[in-house]
Structure 1
Amino acid sequence: MKITFKQTLLSLSLVTCMTACDVNRLPETNISDMTFWTSESDIKAANNYLYTFLPGFSNEEVWSDDAFGLASNSISDGSRLAPATAADYNSPYNLIRAANNILEKAPRAAVAPAVLNRYLAEAYFFRAWGYFSLVQKYGSVPLILKTLEEGSPELTEAAAPRETVVDQIYMDLDFAVMNLPTITTLGAADYGRISRTAAQAFKARVGLFEGTYGKYHAKGDASKHLNIAAVSSKEVIDSKEHALFGNYFDLFQMAGEGRQNKENIIVKQYGVSSTERVLTHAYYRSSLENGNINPTKSLADSYLMKDGLPLSKSPLWSVPDSSHKVFKNRDLRMSATFMKRGDAMMTTKPIFDIANLVFNKTGYMFRKFANVNDWNTQASVIDRPLLRYAEVLLIYAEATYELKGAITDAELDMSINLLRARGEVAKLTNAFVTANALNMRDEIRRERRVELAQEGFRYWDLIRWKIAEMELVKPVLGNFYFKNEFAAATVNLAPDNVILVQDASFRKFNPARDYLWPLPINEIALNPALKQNAGW
């Protein structure tokens, strides 16, 4: 296997990197590496590289039934083929290699044990992050816990069992929880670095995914993982380190930046202004306004009326005869997530009236992260929230219900109902569910869908709940077709006067194959012991 090396300058330090297919081969190559690991600043600089792997803005929502782009998506409609190479496979292993390198070399530094353990904890956290990304997509994968050389036998070993990889993730996160500072201790100066509650919250995310995946796919010890999710999320709640941000729309604007927003637990940082920036992105103009990601009717219909009832049951709902009435008497989070008449839009069209069907194929347009100045500059520094306290509350509610088959009103009040209050939606109680012939599991899942819409969760929820085979094969529908409002365009309509974006005949999902992703063909060629996932 060919090996290529490159050096990256980061925070005045040299960090040795490698090509994707050789993620764990890291020989001692020069004197500078041997003399680098001497101080806390050296370790911190090396750890800074790990943060570059936190994912930025993307259009991954189109994998799910929540969004559609300018054209069909091969993951969503089941038409993809096994790739030759895949960044989704190689990039996590690059992160894992970098973390392993730090875990091996940071102990050389002359620092106090507590200081060393703090930075080792960051490395353990990021190794866990990398492995969870792999497990979600591929299931069983090679488990590499050290940097490898040319002849290392691990290069030709088979994938480790999924449960073994996940147990390692938990062990890494346990070390992180024990040794990371609290977010209060980090303060404003170190805002954005991984905290103790970040590790606890991420452990809860892993536990919920694995617990529900195990439960609904009949694999492994579901209760073990669900208990981890419930306990870890409750630890975050009990820490009192976090709270919900007051305004849902502002949560995804510059107003929601920084330590003053206690809801954000892990963020991809971009900066605080155009002059004080780390990175920039053009997510609003290149993805939302240009139509690379548009909300669907399926997502729109998930938002409750203010009385807490779905559209099919609420007396507050009637079929709208104009676009702004779609939002009447609805959960306020819908208005914060979807563009509606009167919202600020962009420099060449200051006020939104109706979506442009040439770009926004569904007749809807996302509003989260939309900012007029960012449209103009195409250089936004709005951070991407990767793990919010709202998710922790949702994990606690779902894990509790999935473990016990029930959830108390007190448990709902400390989780789901805090989110509903922000959306000005009636509380969810057991009596309310019974009186209105609702299903508690469905309502908990609905709450997760609307709260985390446009943040990259829906596809993975369909996977772990094993309902992708039911949801992803449905036709993709959009907004009601308001003929007097939309500009002239060729539009296919479903019988109930909603926009038909993609017919069900073009959509498929193979439950024997598509719940796991295909391993890259080149990786299997390089390591014959690595077996392709079933059906690919």
Structure 2
Amino acid sequence: MIRYINPIVKNLIFTFAVLCITSCGSFLDIAPKSDITDKSFWRTEEQLALATTELYHYFEKFNIVDWDNHGDDTFGNEPNKVSSGSYYPTSDSYYWDRSYRQIRKANNILKKAMYATSLPPVKINSYRGEAFFFRALAYFDLVSRFGGVPLILKTLDTEDEELTYPRSSRTRIVEQILSDLDSAFAYRPKGSEMNHHKDYGRITKYAALGFKSKVALFEASRAKYHGFSGYDPVTGIRGKAREWYRQALDCSRQVMESGEFALFEHLPEPEASYYHLFRHGGEGSPETMIANRFDLDIRTHGRPGQLIMQRKLSLTRKAVDMFLCSDGLPIQKSPLFRGHSTGNNQNSEFANRDRRLVFSVWKDNDPTWNGTPFLNNWNRINTGYCLKKYCVWDNDDPVTSKSEIDQMKLRYAEILLIRAEAVFELDGRISDALLDITVNPLRQRAGIKPLSNSFVTQNDLDMRNELRRERFVELCGEEGPRYWDLMRWKKGEELEGTVLGIKILKSHPNYEKLKASNSLNKDGYYVAQTADKRHFDPSKHYLWPLPTKELSLNSNLVQNPGW
């Protein structure tokens, strides 16, 4: 547990003048030519540290949970436009604008950090390494949503032709992202070489490499499953799939062999490690690779209140059913499964299950922040499976719900999953030896039987599906990974269908209330959203529409297909 005021957190409350954003009405931010402060700023290490700390503003305040509800694994207190397929082109795009603002900041640092000639080159490049990382992150956010976008690698003036650049190909953007992450890896120090008290939260060498493995896996999957055949702004080159899978495999292997990270173990309760990972006990643990820092006196977030008081994020029936029984079998195959709300037990389905389910979901009668039992009053739309991850009150007030729990943007468990998936997608198989160092440590922590090739064969399972299941249950409710997995695997149609929640017993205090409001189906399951309200169009929904304002300002931009 780390509870000190870290320079990253402290400086996140400032936006200093040098990096303040000016706008020319488009996504490309242009620095004022008469910025005298800027010309005299880039001289000392303190100034470089302040400039690069500003980049960490890109990690949001963790109050927004809408992106979690883009997939089929979670549902909020109202329908989500992305998962419902009801979104449309708008004049502005929050994601487009914030990404290009970040790119402008990073480009500015990459150029002007070199002005600090009194510092040794290794020190200058260390700060530039952070800028390379955040430029890569911003471009990854863009390419994930929009496909190919204009590639801007320098700060711009009003006369620069790059202001009206067309979209670069998706492949070109991805290659730049991977190159920037190589630079971050080359320039940033190892975490073990840094001052953990002073520098915790700053990007490290192997954090950058771990993120590269994530990018490479994402783009390899899109290339493989979307059948790219051309070199155009929207798609990419299918032949890159194997190359990028190999990069994902190699980078994840190097991270594992570095010894810089490990799965979190909570002592003296190792069986509850997954639960404590998302609480104070897990902060600063060896599992954390990239952290979004918070502090109760400086920078807090409202995640607990959004989860409990507002019911903004609940697991779906589909998600809960994905968790295995302790014998390693799906609920449809396991004799250990007790059924959905059987007898007089509203919580019967939680028995003999993967521990991650119990540690991820609030059940009726679970003790809450003040010791009172949790009971879903159904005053807001949800599924009955309110998410528990990161749900910690630091001021004992669920209304104001201030929390200082750090958010893990990347953790070591995902690296293990990346390596396993990359190996299988490359060769169509994975050895038991590799399963034992990737997936099975996660299953052991979750209290379920290990995965092996013989186990898959004997129980008529599919290895690819089981690897994907493991990723699903390990990362569910953590900033929307499920939606992006469906997009890269070309499985968008899984967003369709009725969204069900918990099965309500007739003895439940709210049964009559829900029945009277027609919120239950004939089998007693809560209906969060009907199938007719969810639509996925494969001809356009694998990419988001470009903001129309950018199309009007730059005639060289073209809209994505179908929009």
| TM-score of the aligned structures, taking structure 2 as reference length | 0.90
Q: Shift in Å at residue 505 of structure 1?
A: 1.5
Structure 1 equivalent of residue 292 of structure 2: 268
Structure 2 equivalent of residue 351 of structure 1: 373
Q: 2:191 aligns with which of 183, 193, 205?
A: 183
Conserved 8 A contact 1:362-1:477 = yes
Deviations 1:256-284 (A, max 9, x none): 122xx00010011002xx34x3x111111
When residues 412 and 438 of structure 1 are mapped into structure 2, their CA distance, relative to the original with a 3 A threshold, is same
- Aligned identity (percent) is 39
Conserved 8 A contact 2:55-2:102 = yes
CA distance in 2, matches of 1:440, 1:299: 19
RMSD of aligned C-alpha atoms? 1.7
Q: Shift in Å at residue 342 of structure 1?
A: 3.7
Structure 1 equivalent of residue 137 of structure 2: 129
Does residue 293 (structure 1) correspond to residue 313 (structure 2)? The answer is yes
Conserved 8 A contact 1:13-1:45 = no
When residues 240 and 270 of structure 1 are mapped into structure 2, their CA distance, relative to the original with a 3 A threshold, is same
Q: Shift in Å at residue 365 of structure 1?
A: 1.0
Conserved 8 A contact 1:518-1:533 = yes
Structure 2 equivalent of residue 16 of structure 1: 20
CA distance in 2, matches of 1:534, 1:28: 38
Conserved 8 A contact 1:13-1:46 = no
Q: Shift in Å at residue 482 of structure 1?
A: 1.8
Q: Following superposition of structure 1 onto structure 2, how do residues 221-370 of structure 1 map, counting pairs within 5 Å?
A: 221-246=240-265, 247-258=273-284, 261-271=285-295, 274-275=296-297, 277=298, 279-319=299-339, 320-321=341-342, 322-347=345-370, 350-352=372-374, 354-370=375-391
CA distance in 2, matches of 1:114, 1:484: 68
Q: Shift in Å at residue 377 of structure 1?
A: 4.6
Q: Shift in Å at residue 288 of structure 1?
A: 3.8
CA distance in 2, matches of 1:515, 1:484: 43
CA distance in 1, matches of 2:558, 2:28: 19
Conserved 8 A contact 1:194-1:266 = yes
Structure 1 equivalent of residue 533 of structure 2: 506
When residues 183 and 374 of structure 1 are mapped into structure 2, their CA distance, relative to the original with a 3 A threshold, is farther
CA distance in 2, matches of 1:144, 1:50: 17
Q: 1:444 aligns with which of 461, 464, 467?
A: 467
Deviations 1:343-371 (A, max 9, x none): 23245x7221x322222521221111122
Structure 1 equivalent of residue 202 of structure 2: 193
**SS of 2:274 mapped into structure 1:** coil
CA distance in 2, matches of 1:206, 1:374: 39
When residues 11 and 76 of structure 1 are mapped into structure 2, their CA distance, relative to the original with a 3 A threshold, is closer
Does residue 530 (structure 1) correspond to residue 557 (structure 2)? The answer is yes
When residues 222 and 377 of structure 1 are mapped into structure 2, their CA distance, relative to the original with a 3 A threshold, is same
CA distance in 2, matches of 1:9, 1:76: 33
**SS of 1:149 mapped into structure 2:** coil
CA distance in 2, matches of 1:521, 1:11: 29
When residues 311 and 80 of structure 1 are mapped into structure 2, their CA distance, relative to the original with a 3 A threshold, is same
CA distance in 1, matches of 2:430, 2:545: 37
CA distance in 2, matches of 1:9, 1:149: 28
CA distance in 2, matches of 1:434, 1:493: 38
Conserved 8 A contact 2:364-2:376 = no
Structure 2 equivalent of residue 3 of structure 1: none
| TM-score of the aligned structures, taking structure 1 as reference length | 0.94
Q: Following superposition of structure 1 onto structure 2, how do residues 137-148 of structure 1 map, counting pairs within 5 Å?
A: 137-148=145-156
Structure 2 equivalent of residue 108 of structure 1: 115
Deviates more, 1:474-483 or 1:306-315: 474-483
Q: Which structure 2 residue ranges, 5 or more long, are not aligned?
A: 1-11, 229-236, 266-272
CA distance in 2, matches of 1:50, 1:18: 16
**SS of 2:372 mapped into structure 1:** strand
Q: Shift in Å at residue 28 of structure 1?
A: 3.1
Structure 2 equivalent of residue 4 of structure 1: none
**Matched pairs, number:** 520
CA distance in 2, matches of 1:358, 1:367: 18
Deviates more, 1:444-453 or 1:355-364: 355-364
CA distance in 2, matches of 1:523, 1:222: 31
Conserved 8 A contact 2:501-2:528 = yes
CA distance in 2, matches of 1:377, 1:185: 39
Structure 1 equivalent of residue 5 of structure 2: none
Deviations 1:48-74 (A, max 9, x none): 100010133221111111111122111
Q: 2:211 aligns with which of 202, 207, 211?
A: 202
Conserved 8 A contact 2:338-2:351 = no
Does residue 88 (structure 1) correspond to residue 78 (structure 2)? The answer is no
CA distance in 2, matches of 1:289, 1:422: 30
In the alignment, residue 400 of structure 1 is paired with which amino acid?
A: V
Structure 1 equivalent of residue 173 of structure 2: 165
In the alignment, residue 461 of structure 1 is paired with which amino acid?
A: D
Does residue 406 (structure 1) correspond to residue 429 (structure 2)? The answer is yes
